[in-house]
Amino acid sequence: MGGVQSVFEAAGGNNGLRRLAEAWHRRVMADEIVAHAFSHGFHSEHVERLAAYWAEALGGPITYSDSYGDETTVVKIHSGNGEHEEMDRRAMACFDQALADVGLGDDSTLRQVLHDYFAWATTTSMSRYHRTTDDVPNGLRIPHWSWDGLQE
């Protein structure tokens, strides 16, 4: 059989994405602008949930949807905080640094796909409803991302 590896597999599967989520979380908590997003506190399983979300979005198991919620749940957490372009830009820079921290920056194709996914998610679905969480529609599905980008 075989075929092309999913982005999830290329990124090291659940363990690889868990390491990436840990590295990103470490980076953003050290960034004075982005850390502000977590100043009200965050879920004790934030890293696990983030890794599970990325895994599902990148072609891995649907643990996030099965255990934690759907895209509506995630978008509501990130909505209603006003526009925050500088924070988004810095969060993306932290993500790029985290890729290098865990050794995922060496493969330029993989690095670009992961960067493009994170940048897209940060600047579209996560910041689309900046006025109020009431604007977030119910029943949103976690977007899937492949080597070719967003899968409609």
Query: Who contacts 18 (Cβ-Cβ below 8 Å, separation ≥6)?
Result: 47, 48, 51
The arrangement of secondary structure in 7-151, i.e. its CATH architecture, is: Orthogonal Bundle (1.10)
pTM: 0.90
The pLDDT score that the predictor gives to residue 2 is 53
Q: Domain-by-domain residue ranges, the chain? A: 7-151
- For 99-113, letters b (16+ CB in 10 Å) and e give bebbebbeeeebbeb
Q: Which residues of the chain, if any, have pLDDT below 50? A: 1
The pLDDT score that the predictor gives to residue 1 is 47
The pLDDT score that the predictor gives to residue 58 is 98
Dist. CA 48–CA 10, nearest whole Å: 19
pLDDT tens profile 75-112: 888 887 878 889 899 999 999 999 999 999 999 999 99
